[in-house]
Structure 1
Amino acid sequence: MNNALLALAGAIVAVAGTLLAPILSQRLLARVQTEQFERQQRAADAQWLREQRVEEVEKRRACYVTANSGYRRYRIELMKYLWLVHKGEATTQARADLEETRLSMHTAFAEAQMVASDTVLRELDAMTTTLAGAYSRTLHLEDGNPHPGWAFEEIQAELLQLGDRWRDMRGLMRADLGVDPGPAGS
């Protein structure tokens, strides 16, 4: 009887294993597929994040190029106009050129306000304030009503000093983009 019970128990286990094998293998396959899908999803998410970072850096780079160009051009145009005012040769065309570059700089600044890092934005704010002050004093000088202590030489010196400050700002922009800021004062 022991052999018969043993055989019956073996048969029950074999039948149960045969019946349960497809269910267990289906669950195991579903778990493997779920894990594989989750791995693919994590990889896709990581790829998307990398692409977003690259896109963000490209936006900031383009913004910094525009700001760099706009601010430099405005500073140069303002220096040129200041010189014309000093010589008494300022024309409406020179004033129009100055206004065009000033508006261009303000457009670059508006774009930078949306994408620049806080560090770069603080420096751009300071540069904008300094340029606005030099612009105002230049116009007062042209009108023959200069601010006390702000003659041609002082305004010119301030605009020349902005060149040194600009190199520092360029270093901040490069560092923000992950590029070596280069030697100081170069």
Structure 2
Amino acid sequence: MSASWTALLIAVVGVAGTLGAALLTQVRADRTKRMELEAAAEQRREERGHAEELLRAEQARQGQRESLERRRACYITLNTASRQYLTEMTNHLHALGRGDGVAASLENLEAARLAYRDSYAESQMIVPDTVSRATSAAKRRLNEAYGKLRKYAEEPSRYAAELEAMEADLHQDVWPYVGAMKKAMRADLGVED
């Protein structure tokens, strides 16, 4: 009996080993498949994260381009309006000196002043602080010159000397601030001299 028990035991161990090996192989295959699926899922998460990061970066670049274009358009309008305003002040001075076309030049001056005011108001919402300081300084000088001009224009005979000196004052006291404003805007846009 012992030989038969031994044979039976060997057969049982053989069958158990065969079944255990199959079971162990299946468990390992399942574990390997699960690891492959997890790795694939992790790869997809990384790719999705990378794609989202690229999208955010592109959106940020697009926002920067739009901001730059918005500032550029604002700067062009403000620079043009401030120069036109200053030119119309000079034209009004000449009209006062000639005593001819004063009403028309005053109308042009007021139109230029309003255009400047509107473009300056827009710039306050768009420009960075460094440019805002330069635009504010130019605005103060333009408004001071406008105030003097309007005062002198009310009584041109009384302020004849001041009117004569005012054109030089515009060139010395106002144009440099308009130039500094332009320089600050160009620097913000990255335009090199």
The structure 2 residue matched to 1:159, chosen from 170, 185, 191, is 170
Report the CA distance shift for 1:130/1:164 in structure 2 as closer, same or farther (over 3 A): closer
What is the deviation of 1:6?
A: 5.9
- The corresponding residue for 2:70 is 59
- Give the length in aligned residue pairs: 179
Take 1:91 and 1:145, find their aligned partners in 2: how far apart are those partners?
Answer: 11
Greater C-alpha Rg: 2
Take 1:153 and 1:165, find their aligned partners in 2: how far apart are those partners?
Answer: 21
> In the TM superposition, what are the counterparts of 1:144-155 in structure 2 within 5 Å?
144=155, 151-155=162-166
> In the TM superposition, what are the counterparts of 1:7-86 in structure 2 within 5 Å?
9-86=20-97
Q: Is the CA contact 2:156–2:163 (under 8 Å) kept in the aligned structure 1? A: no
Report the CA distance shift for 1:61/1:50 in structure 2 as closer, same or farther (over 3 A): same
What is the deviation of 1:7?
A: 5.1
- The corresponding residue for 2:182 is 170
Structure 1 residue ranges without an equivalent (≥5) = none
Structure 2 residue identity aligned to 1:51 = Q
RMSD of aligned C-alpha atoms? 2.4
TM-score by length of 1: 0.85
Query: More relative contact order in 1 or in 2 (CA 8 Å, sep 6+)?
Result: 2
Structure 2 residue identity aligned to 1:169 = M
Q: Is the CA contact 1:140–1:146 (under 8 Å) kept in the aligned structure 2? A: no
1:132-167 deviations in Å (ceiling 9; x for gaps): 11111111111118999x812442222112223333
The structure richer in helix per residue is 2
Structure 2 residue ranges without an equivalent (≥5) = 1-9
> In the TM superposition, what are the counterparts of 1:113-132 in structure 2 within 5 Å?
113-132=124-143
What is the deviation of 1:9?
A: 4.9
4+ runs of 1 displaced by more than 4 Å?
3-9, 145-148
Take 2:156 and 2:133, find their aligned partners in 1: how far apart are those partners?
Answer: 31
What is the deviation of 1:63?
A: 0.5
TM-score by length of 2: 0.83
